[in-house]
Structure 1
Amino acid sequence: MTSTPPPPSPQSGRAALEATDDRLPLHVRLRELLLDRIRTGEWTPATPLPGEIALADDYGVSKGTLRRVLGELVDQGLLERRRGDGTYVRRARLDHSLHRFFRHGSADDTLPGSRILRWETAPADAEVAGRLELGPGDEVLTLRRLRTRDESPVLVEDIWLPLPRFAPLAEAGPDALGPLLYPAYEKLAGQVVGGASEDLTIRACDQADATLLGCGAGEPVVVIDRLARAHDGSPLELRVSRGRADTFRYRIELT
């Protein structure tokens, strides 16, 4: 029978805090310690953080100091408070962000269809390796995915995921994926997307994309280049999405 490991010592947080540079303000030192627990994956979006009283006692700080630091992490988008349920590491909500810009036959926000066209592991080329901060010859899992709405093609996406970080996903195979990838990254490989940066450009559609998107070669397509990162800042996913320019719509409310 496997024994359950004992809970961490109530002094573990206090000892860690005492080991930090006391020339820095207390709340700064505490924030870095909590950040470490997010970056290392000790805290995840699936389980709430310990309660404020327990955390304050663990680190030997006042509840007010602890609340201040948690508030700063919420403001930074690293944590979120769920009413009546506690405080959690925040998941980046990016799965719908691309699709809302492309409308094809429907103006609602129903979940788009998803079909995997390619699934393979291979050494990353120089550009992909550089973007994902990999070494020469390091392998990646590559996906090509077609997104649809009302059975009509909307987006073609090429996705690169670093190995062995995503080895469990590669082993699970495409049938294990649902229509949203980020929940699958978390469930199958334990990888949580903390944020992303995107660049948007326009280019002429090549013949391969034209066949998939149902348009003519040379017609304009919108290209969205996304680099998603974990909470520790390391690259998790490189994604290049293409959609027909005539179905693209961008809207933002400015106040």
Structure 2
Amino acid sequence: MGVDDVLYNIGEGVELFWSKLLLFISGILQPRRSDSPPNFRFLKKFVRKELTVHELLSLRLQLVFIVYLFLSLALVLVRVSVLALVFLFVIEFSYIRYIVNKYRDFFVDSEPYRVFYYSISLLSFAAFGGYSLLRSFSRSLYPIITYIVAVFVAVLTFRAYFKRRYGRDYTYGVVEEVKNDLVRVFVHDDIAANVKPGYYWVERVQDAEPGTVVKLLLEDRKLRGAVPSRILEVYLRDQSSQTSSEPKNESE
């Protein structure tokens, strides 16, 4: 192979790399709604139990945010430039935005997740970035303590706003099993209701049969999230268990 061929192949490879990179960046900045869910090949290797697409998307958001927190903390501890925190935040926020917008049709309700993760990402960036700046310009503890208190108040304020705007004392589930006077209900991860995904036993009501979608009243438990306490309404039988907890046509 001659020198010209080598240079041509190098140029072609660089051109292909940049075109794919630009396409990737464009997809992140302007995500298009997907008609199919992601495959979750990497995530499923670490998940022992079966989860719905909604649960897997929620888990991905949680993991991305947790990694962002640890990396931000590490950058603050090693006293790097604030620009590094800005760069890390842009990557995290862009990816969160990409997940929520591209796969919004596969969330039970994407809006609360969008608002929640956008907001806590911004609050976290403000907390780390502000602390890093204060530490650079002031050696006194009082401004830093004041700022930490202000961040804490901001988090509580957002929590109150989110609960008032999106919070509710009910969620939906799919009846999986009937046993005497009890039914086992599968509930999706529901950030608006502050309930964890999983199976819950509640008292059986009329027409609550395997496959039916039910509306559940929640009991709020401080620091542990809400848990279903009883069935409020029963909807027509769902066609596939664990695929949807949105109500269909309500039964008479």
The normalised TM-score by structure 1 is: 0.22
Q: Which structure has more helix as a fraction of its residues?
A: 2
Q: Which has the larger radius of gyration?
A: 2
More strand by share: 1
Q: Which has the higher contact order (CA 8 A, sep 6+)?
A: 1
